[in-house]
Amino acid sequence: MKAAYWALVAAAAFPAIASAHEAGDVIVRVGTATVRPTEGSDNVLGLGSFNINNNTQMGLTLGYMFTDNIGMELLAATPFQHKIGLKSTGTIAEVKQLPPSLMAQYYFGDKRDKLRPYLGLGINYTTFYDTNFNQTGRDAGLSDLSVKDSWGVATQAGLDYNLDDNWLINMSVWWMDIDTEVKFKAGGEQQNINTRIDPWVFMFGVGYRF
C-alpha cells in the first residue's frame, strides 16, 4: 500500500512528458513571413542595379515527420508584392511573386524535448506575375515588363518550442536562390536584365501538430 501511495504522489508531482515531433506527425504552422531581397542585377540603362523592397505576408507551412528526426515541409504564402526601382528614379514598377519551397529536414534532439531545432535543404520555385510599370516608368518610355520564373536551391534553419501535445511556437529563417531575367522595352528597344534576388525569408508563427 505504501508503495502504491508513493507511486501516485510521484505521478502527480512529475506528470508524464508528452511526445512531440514523432514519426507520423503532421505539423501545420502559420504566421508572418517577411521577404528581404539581397538584390543585384546587370546595369540598367546605365543607371545602376535594380532596388527591390521588402514585403511581409502570411506564411503557411505543411510538414510531415517520417521518423522522430527526419521530416519534409512545404512553404506557401499569400502573394508577395515588391516595388522595383533605381536609385536615381525611385520606384518604376511593381511585381507580385509566390515562392513555394519543398524542404527535407533534420530535427535535432529527442521527440520528448520542448525545444526542437532543425535544418532543411530543398528546392524553390518562384513565379512572378502582375508585372507593371507605374506612371514614373511609363513616363520614362518603359513598357512590356515581364519577369522570368525561377528554380533554385532553398535552405532553412528553424526552432519549435512545444507548448503541449499539439501546440507549438515557431521561428525560422530561409534563404532562396532566385535568379531571373527581367525583360522590358525602353524607347521601343528590347532590354534583358539578369537579376539576382536571393532573399532571406523570416517567419514567426504558431503551429499545430496532428
Q: Are 178 and 152 in contact (CB under 8 A)?
A: yes
Cell for 129? 506575375
In terms of residue numbers, what domain contains 183?
2-209
Model confidence, pTM: 0.85
Average pLDDT score over residue span 148-177? 96
Average pLDDT score over residue span 127-149? 95
CATH of the domain at 19: 2.40.160.20
Residue 17: DSSP 8-state: P
CA distances from residue 139 to 14, 113, 170, 186, 187 in whole angstroms, order as listed: 71, 59, 45, 11, 11
Domain count, the chain: 1
**For a pLDDT cut of 70, what percent of the chain falls above it?**
91
The pLDDT, as a whole number, for residue 19 is: 61
pLDDT(163) > 70: yes
pLDDT digits (tens, 9 = 90+) for 106-131: 999 999 999 999 999 999 999 999 99
Cβ within 8 Å of residue 72, ≥6 positions away: 63, 64, 66, 102, 103, 104, 105
Cβ within 8 Å of residue 124, ≥6 positions away: 99, 100, 101, 150, 151, 152, 153, 154, 176, 177, 178
